[in-house]
């Protein structure tokens, strides 16, 4: 397997390394219901963090606020040492590029090739005309995308239509696309909820391997056992608050059970962003 260029933070695997992401006091209210109640989250290079919690506890909202898909009402976000508040235009886009998101619904263009889908990760740094009509990606982007595909073990499927791949393979393509974005932080929202156990194991172990290369990775999981097996740190959310934040080796079954014990609050009326 060809090695990707080492990540700038590569090799540092301890909490002593500078954080790649810091969220402080994130708050979000939908209708009259506060779904993030002042959440703090720090992600370091080299760690895979599993985010656990019952339905509706705020896990997706937390990731969506961090990646910029949802506007938080309050709180500060620092990405790669740069505070996001007050940034605009190119500076904001550049900082946002550092964080890639992988979803449960994989969002590949099924009729385009696997390679094209991975190249799409580079759109944010291509000239506008390429972004509008990304029919032919530049050779260097295609080479980088091949390297990212190789990293997830799918180089031999580069020219297949993405829609022909299995769910687990498609999720690995989505991860390759995040790598092609050159993000240093990868957030994954239920990346394995639609996968069978073997494919789920493969994807989470891949996320763990990326962390080992120096990425900061956080994955929302509805499979606590996978989190305990692969993650370095477990974060647990209950009703918009982080109630558990501990090395996975220090987490016991009753800690996990407590996250799922409280009855889920009724959903708020739907609001856009
Ligand atoms: N766009 C929205 N409009 C209104 N309420 C929302 C919106 N998005 C999320 N919510 C509410 O915010 C709360 C937290 O939702 P969120 O999706 O973050 O939870 P979660 O922990 O990811 O749940 P799940 O495990 O089911 O995905 C829920 O009550 C949800 O109904």
The pLDDT of residue 5 is 40
pLDDT in tens, 193-223: 889 999 999 999 999 999 999 999 999 999 9
Which of 50, 60, 63, 73 is the best mutation target for the ligand 1 pocket, counting ligand atoms within 8 Å of the beta carbon and taking the most? 60
The pLDDT of residue 89 is 74
Angle of helix 167-180 versus helix 139-151 axis, rounded to 10: 130
The pLDDT of residue 81 is 86
Domain ranges of the chain: 21-105+177-259
pLDDT in tens, 147-194: 999 999 999 999 999 999 999 999 999 999 999 999 999 999 999 988
Whether the CB of 57 sits within 6 Å of ligand 1: yes
Of the pLDDT bands very low, low, confident and very high (cuts 50, 70, 90), residue 2 is very low
Q: In the numeric block, which tokens belong to residue 106?
A: 């994989």
Whether the CA torsion 106, 203, 174, 223 is positive or negative: it is: positive
The pLDDT of residue 125 is 79
Which of 41, 51, 61 is the best mutation target for the ligand 1 pocket, counting ligand atoms within 8 Å of the beta carbon and taking the most? 61
Q: Atom of ligand 1 at shortest distance to CA of 271?
A: 3
Contact 257, 243 (CB under 8 A): no
The pLDDT of residue 259 is 95
- Answer whether residue 11 shows pLDDT above 60: no
Q: Is 186 helix (H, G, I), strand (E, B) or coil?
A: strand
The residue assigned the tokens 């590569």 is: 10
Mean pLDDT score, 113-137? 78
The pLDDT of residue 12 is 45
Of the pLDDT bands very low, low, confident and very high (cuts 50, 70, 90), residue 66 is very high
- Answer whether residue 22 shows pLDDT above 60: yes
For 21-105+177-259, give the CATH class: alpha beta
Whether the CB of 53 sits within 6 Å of ligand 1: yes
In the Cβ-directed half-sphere of 262, how many Cα atoms lie within 13 Å?
19
- Answer whether residue 227 shows pLDDT above 80: yes
Alpha carbons 32 and 237: distance in angstroms, whole number = 20
ipTM above 0.95, yes or no: yes
pLDDT in tens, 139-148: 899 999 999 9
Mean pLDDT of all residues in the chain? 87
- Answer whether residue 236 shows pLDDT above 70: yes
The pLDDT of residue 3 is 39
The pLDDT of residue 146 is 96
Alpha carbons 45 and 16: distance in angstroms, whole number = 10
Q: Flag whether the pTM goes above 0.95.
A: no
- Answer whether residue 19 shows pLDDT above 60: yes
In degrees, to the nearest 5, what angle opens at C-alpha 167 toward C-alphas 161 and 169? 65
The pLDDT of residue 194 is 85
């Amino acid at each position: 397997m060809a090695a990707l260029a080492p990540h700038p933070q590569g090799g540092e695997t301890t909490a002593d390394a500078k954080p790649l992401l810091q969220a402080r006091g994130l708050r979000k209210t939908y209708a009259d219901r506060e779904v993030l109640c002042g959440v703090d989250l720090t992600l370091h290079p080299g760690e895979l963090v599993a985010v656990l919690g019952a339905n509706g506890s705020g896990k997706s909202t937390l990731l969506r606020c961090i990646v910029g898909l949802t506007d938080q009402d309050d709180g500060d976000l620092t990405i790669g040492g740069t505070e996001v508040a007050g940034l605009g235009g190119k500076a904001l886009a550049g900082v946002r590029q550092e964080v890639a998101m992988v979803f449960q619904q994989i969002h590949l263009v099924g009729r385009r090739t696997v390679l094209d889908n991975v190249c799409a990760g580079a759109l944010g740094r291509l000239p506008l005309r390429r972004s509008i009509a990304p029919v032919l990606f530049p050779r260097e982007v295609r080479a980088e995308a091949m390297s990212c595909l190789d990293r997830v073990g799918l180089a031999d499927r580069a020219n297949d239509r993405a829609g022909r791949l299995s769910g687990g393979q498609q999720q690995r393509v989505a991860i390759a696309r995040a790598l092609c974005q050159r993000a240093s932080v990868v957030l994954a929202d239920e990346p394995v909820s639609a996968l069978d156990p073997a494919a789920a194991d493969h994807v989470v172990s891949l996320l763990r391997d990326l962390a080992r290369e120096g990425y900061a990775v956080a994955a929302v999981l509805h499979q606590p056992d996978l989190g305990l097996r692969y993650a370095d740190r477990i974060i647990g959310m209950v009703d918009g608050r982080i109630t558990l934040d501990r090395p996975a080796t220090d987490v016991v079954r009753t800690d996990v059970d407590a996250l799922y014990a409280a009855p889920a609050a009724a959903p708020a009326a739907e609001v856009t962003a």
